[in-house]
Structures are given as C-alpha cells and as structure tokens.
Amino acid sequence: MAGTSPRLVLASTSASRLSILRSAGVEPEVAPSGVDEDAVVAALHNPSPEDVVRALATAKARSVAQTYEAEELPEGLVIVGADSMLLIDGELQGKPHTEEETIRRWRNQRGRTAELITGHAMMAESVVFTEVSRTRIQFAQATDEDIAAYAATGEPFGCAGAFTLEALGGWFIDRIEGDPSSVIGLSLPVLRRGLTVFGYNVSQFWNR
C-alpha cells in the first residue's frame, strides 16, 4: 500500500472532523454514510460503551466502502468512520438536536466530570483497523444564563455531549485529560496508528 499516492475518504459530514483533518494538512474526500444509527445500536447485544461507538464507526465506514462495489477497496484508498458519545451517569449521550435538550443536559453536566468516547474505524483494501479513545472532560459550573445563551446559538445541537471544545463550548470546559483532537471528533494519534498498520506514513496524506 505504501507505494501508492493515497487518498483519505471521511465517512462523515461533520464540519469538526473535516476541520481537524484540514488543520493537520489533509484534504479528504467527504462521503456521507447515511447509516441508520438507531438500527445499528438496536442490533447489538448488551454492548459496552466502547462496543456502541466502535459499531457505529464501523457501520459508517462500511457503508461508504460498499459504494465501491468490489470485494476490497482500490489500492491507495483509506476510508475513515468515527462516532462520539458522552458517557455520564452510566449512560451514553449523543447529539441533543434541540435547544430544550441542550439546556437539560447542561444543567445536569455542569460542574461534573464525564468521558467523551470516540470510536474509529479505518478501511484500506481488505484490512480493517478499529480503536476507541476515551477522554475525561471536566465541565465548568456554567450559569443558567450562559447555558440558555449557548443553547440558543444552536451550535451544540449536532455535537456529542452537547458541546464543542473548539468553539463557544470551550468557555465551559475547565479541563480535559486525554487527546484533544478526539474530543473534537477524530483522534489524530489513532488515525496515525491506523495508517501505520496499512503501511503508510502520515506525511503521504499531507497537502503539498
């Protein structure tokens, strides 16, 4: 695989994930997966939090891989799928979607510590690499007024855990323990390890 001029395909329409890759020197192709996430989770039997995000990430990557209608992916093509959820009170939380749900979640999580869990699935030719990263988040003691104002922006509606580290939500994060890029949506260290498994150097994907 290492002898080709590789391409990376992001199986996501997430602006945050695209931004991470662009900031790291990679201009990926973007291919929405269209996965029914509820159906994927419903098919799992007594899953752990890691099982859930790994299964969702894998389903997204496989969905895009199937569009190539071949037993294995073309040489030089790497597909990346990812899924993030917040683990708090023993429950996984995805995107809040609405202003009301964003407010409810923030009133519960402010001043507390939770874990942001991100599943990664990478595919190249017939090889699949998966890994889950976990990062501890210490939420600030946000005021009711700030919570309402943040929810009113709509920014967190499409974000796991109802927050963004890299934008307005960063005001309300006191500390993180782990990989910052994973909190935003894609762990660069995980991607590097996956590319190494496939026989690539990360610099092969940089824009030059």
- Contact status, residue 187 vs residue 181, Cβ threshold 8 Å: yes
- The token pair at 89 is 């009170």
Backbone angles phi, psi at 8, to 5 degrees: -110, 130
* Catalytic residue numbers, as ranges: 83
3-state class (DSSP) for residue 29: strand
User: How far is the C-alpha of 129 from the C-alpha of 156, rounded, in Å?
Assistant: 29
Give the distance from CA 174 to its chain's centroid. Answer: 21
Q: Which positions ≥6 away from 48 have C-beta within 8 Å?
A: none
91-93 and 29-30 beta bridge pairing: unpaired
DSSP state of 62: H
Residue of 147, 131, 164, 168 lying closest to 17 (CA atoms): 164
Phi-psi category of residue 76: left, alpha or beta, with phi > 0 → left and psi -120 to 50 → alpha: left
